[in-house]
Structure formats: structure tokens, C-alpha cells
Amino acid sequence: MPELPEVETTVRDLRRFLPGLTIDKMLYADWPRMIQTHPPEVFGQLLAGEQIQTLERRAKYIIINLTNDKYLIFHRKMTGNLFFREAGAPADKYTRVVLGFTNGTELRYTDLRKFGRVYLFLGQAEMQVLLSRLGPEPLLDTFTFGHFQEILRGRKGTLKTLLLDQSLLVGLGNIYVNEALFVSGIHPQRNAQSLNDTEREKLYHAIRLVLNTGIENRGTTLSDYLDGEGQKGRNQETLFVHERAKEPCRTCGSLIIKIVVGQRGTYLCPACQPEA
């Protein structure tokens, strides 16, 4: 957490404010280890004077394209958030990095647990070293059912564990894997090789459905996630199984249960998702 819908929501929010702004200086950095590519003072010097051109998302990374072939990247890990703030806005709790723009506005990165990472790459080649191990994007039109079949073909291991592997398919975390498996009616402990063609197709469409629904609902706020303006998402109000242990299934009324798969809390309906 945040997963693909939360990161995509933040990128769309920040696109409304950031393009065209020029970085004046780094105003604050209280956790140097968070900045992975340079010492904080060098990081700030390299950013000063650069203008923001575009923003994009790759997997769970927020990529800010700057002038002079520089790329500022945030990976929020478990509790990171990225906010655009007007000049003079009140301080945000757990702020770790603040960039000030020449018009007085700010970009603030907050992170309760300090697991997030910030990178500044000088050229695309440097950036690709970080991104090269990532799998395909599940919501692109070019990501077809045939591509999904290729990912699963010959894979051994528990299905849920495979779906969490960012080198195979990006953007899915615990929340949306739990939800996609429920929507497709597949037990999370099934072996990937045990799925038939019909089940694989159901899972393919379920993944795309739950991710798109998450984006439409502006993300899932269960604890720390906030969007680019500091507001909670709405998707938690419509979750089928995630963090709903002992509550009735929205489809059949059976009680949702919680198990552990690959050391991750896993929620399912035993009636809608039989083991075999």
C-alpha cells in the first residue's frame, strides 16, 4: 500500500498543478536515507532551477519528468503520500521532503514509517536501471488475455504469491489481489498451474476490473493513504473481502475468513472461492 489505483490517483491529481512549475530549492529533508541517489545537499542543488514537464506512473512509482533530462521519482512503499500545497499551507504530519517552487507553492512528501524512497536520475539510462525489472502494466490496452496467459504459463507456486510479484505484473498489492481473486471466484492458495482457461480469463478481467474500480473511487484508504490534495479515497466502502473478516459476503452471505498466504493477511469467502 499504496497500490496502482492510489498511485495513479495521485499522479492524476498532481498533473493538475505541477507541470510548468519551476523548482526553487529543497526546503526540507529530515531523513537523508530516504534519498537514494545523492546526498541531500547535492540532491537539492541538482533540482534547483529545473522545470516540471510531465508526470507519469510506472508500476507503483511516481515519475516527474524535469528539464535537462532529469527524472525525479517517488516510491511510497507502505505509508508515503505526496501532496501539492499552496503557499503558506499548514504543515503536514510526518513530512520528510519538501520542494519549494518559485511561485511559493510546495510539493511535500510525508511518510509515517519512513520506508519510502526518492530518486533523482540524470538521464533515461540511469532511470531504466531502476525500472527494468518491472513486469507489464495490467491496464494498458496492449496487455491482452494472451499476455496474461504467457505470464502464468509454466509458473509454479501459490497464485496469490505470483500475483504480488512485480517482475511478473505490476501494481497489484495485497488489497487488489485479494479483491481480484474474490471477483474471479478463485481460492488464493490455488497453484497457478491448476487454473483452466476459463479461470485464467476470469482472473484477467477481475484484475482489470478491481484496479479500474479503485481508480474510479480515488483509491482505498484503510490507514494512511491520501490523494494528491490530502483527501481520503472511497474504495474501502465497496471492498468485497479485504479486511472484512467475520463480515457477511456481499454475494452469498457467508462469513469472510482470514488466512495467511506467503506471510500476507489474505481474505476470502470460503463459499464463493472453494479450494478446488
Residue 89: name the closest of 229, 258, 265, 194 by CA: 229
Give the C-alpha separation, 167 to 111, whole Å. Answer: 25
SS3 263: coil
Strand ranges of the sheet holding 106-111, from the earlier edge strand across to the other edge: 23-29, 95-101, 106-111, 80-85
* Residue 230 Ramachandran class (φ > 0 left, ψ -120 to 50 alpha, else beta): left
Cα–Cα dist 22/109, whole Å? 17
Catalytic positions, written as ranges: 2-3, 60, 264
Number of H helices, E strands in the chain: 7, 10
Q: Are strands 106-111 and 95-101 parallel, antiparallel or unpaired?
A: antiparallel
Q: Smallest Cα–Cα separation from 216: which of 5, 3, 2?
A: 5
The Cα angle at residue 218 between residues 267 and 251, in degrees rounded to 5: 35
Give Cα 254 to chain centroid, integer Å.
Answer: 30
